[in-house]
């Protein structure tokens, strides 16, 4: 049994034991933090030509095309340090956990090791075998987390990572042919972007989740704060052949899709159509995630 299977088995045992009521309450609480995205078509990608920043839309975003998606639920907020620490605590007794944890996320304690002293951590620390957010950072988005960790967390929570198409439809919030979740206005104050993190001894220059106005679907931080992992493998030319209904990306690849722009990105990279990617084992200090769920189909 691999590590993730062991974690899931342990959690199933909890749900069927005397702790089941509390676990059920936790699942209900996580579901309450989601918003519905209706079924229907939307325009995905960019039209080509130039943006309102006088730069060309990347070819990876073209052609703009119509996509139909079934309805789904999506987290209103990016997954936080507090939530991710709960996930780590749930699995910490599983065989091989310590090694897997180091592959999944960079935490404050990792900087104590000489070979990892220059890493860039999220604000979680371990004390006596228990994980907790650094005081004051529980509501900040978890970052420096791999795709594998994001995928495992979502499964643990009874959810999954969004497809690239689901992420973009959700980010648009019902707006068509707009560059940002709020329209075409270039972001200024309030949106967390274009910041510098000059010393890993200090926290990342992000902000608590939900720091700016929600979009039309009631979702926060779909531009800036941290970029977000998607489930799809990345192909720069995928839009030239992607299906018009429920695209899930290529069957194989070397990198996973990253969307949304982070605290480190300039305005063009915060656009809802902008596509980025990274290897699934990467522990990028600007990347976090949120989860989705199909309301009538479980995962």
Per residue in 190-206, pLDDT (tens digit) is 899 999 999 999 999 99
Residues of the chain with pLDDT under 50: 1, 3-23, 54, 298-299
SS3 224: coil
Q: Which of 138, 81, 150 has the alpha carbon at shortest distance from 292?
A: 150
Q: Where are the domains of the chain?
A: 34-293
Structure tokens at 95: 């065989």
In the prediction, which pLDDT does 75 show?
Answer: 98
CA dist 246 → 74, 223, 224, 293 (Å): 16, 23, 26, 14
pLDDT tens across 112-162, in order? Answer: 999 999 999 999 999 999 999 999 999 999 999 999 999 999 999 999 999
Q: What is the pLDDT of residue 49?
A: 72
Predicted TM-score (pTM) of this structure: 0.89
Q: Kindly state the percentage of the chain with pLDDT values over 90.
A: 82
Token duo for residue 193: 């972007």
The closest alpha carbon to 284, from 229, 235, 230, belongs to: 229
CA–CA separation, 292 vs 299, rounded Å? Answer: 8
Any idea of the CA torsion for 59, 268, 263, 275, to the nearest 10 degrees? -20
Closest CA to 180 of 40, 196, 190, 38: 190
Answer CATH for 34-293 from 3.50.50.60, 3.90.1300.10, 1.10.150.300, 3.90.1580.10: 3.90.1580.10
């Amino acid at each position: 049994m691999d590590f993730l299977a062991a974690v899931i088995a342990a959690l199933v045992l909890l749900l069927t034991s005397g702790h089941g009521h509390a676990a059920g309450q936790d699942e209900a609480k996580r579901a309450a933090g989601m918003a519905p995205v209706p079924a229907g078509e939307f325009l995905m990608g960019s039209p080509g030509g130039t943006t309102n920043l006088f730069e060309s839309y990347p070819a990876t975003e073209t052609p703009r095309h119509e996509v139909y998606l079934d309805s789904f639920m999506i987290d209103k907020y990016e997954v936080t340090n507090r939530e991710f620490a709960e996930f780590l605590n749930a699995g910490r007794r599983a065989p091989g956990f310590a090694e897997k944890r180091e592959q999944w996320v960079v935490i404050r304690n990792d900087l104590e090791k000489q070979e990892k002293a220059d890493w860039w951590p999220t604000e979680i620390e371990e004390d006596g075998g228990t994980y907790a957010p650094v005081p004051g950072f529980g509501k900040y988005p978890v970052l420096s987390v791999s795709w594998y960790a994001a995928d495992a967390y979502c499964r643990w929570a009874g959810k999954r990572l969004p497809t690239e198409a689901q992420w973009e439809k959700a980010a648009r919030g019902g707006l068509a042919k707009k560059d940002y979740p709020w329209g075409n206005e270039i972001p200024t104050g309030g949106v967390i972007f274009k910041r510098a993190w000059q010393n890993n001894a200090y926290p990342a220059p992000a902000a608590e989740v939900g720091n700016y106005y929600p979009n039309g679907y009631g979702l926060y931080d779909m531009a800036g704060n941290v970029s977000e992992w998607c489930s799809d493998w990345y192909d720069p030319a995928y839009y030239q052949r992607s299906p018009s209904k429920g695209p899930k990306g290529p069957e194989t690849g070397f990198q996973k899709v990253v969307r949304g722009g982070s605290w480190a990105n300039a305005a063009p990279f915060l656009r809802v159509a902008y596509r980025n990617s990274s290897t699934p084992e990467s522990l990028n200090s600007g990347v976090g995630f949120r989860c989705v769920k199909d309301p009538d189909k479980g995962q």
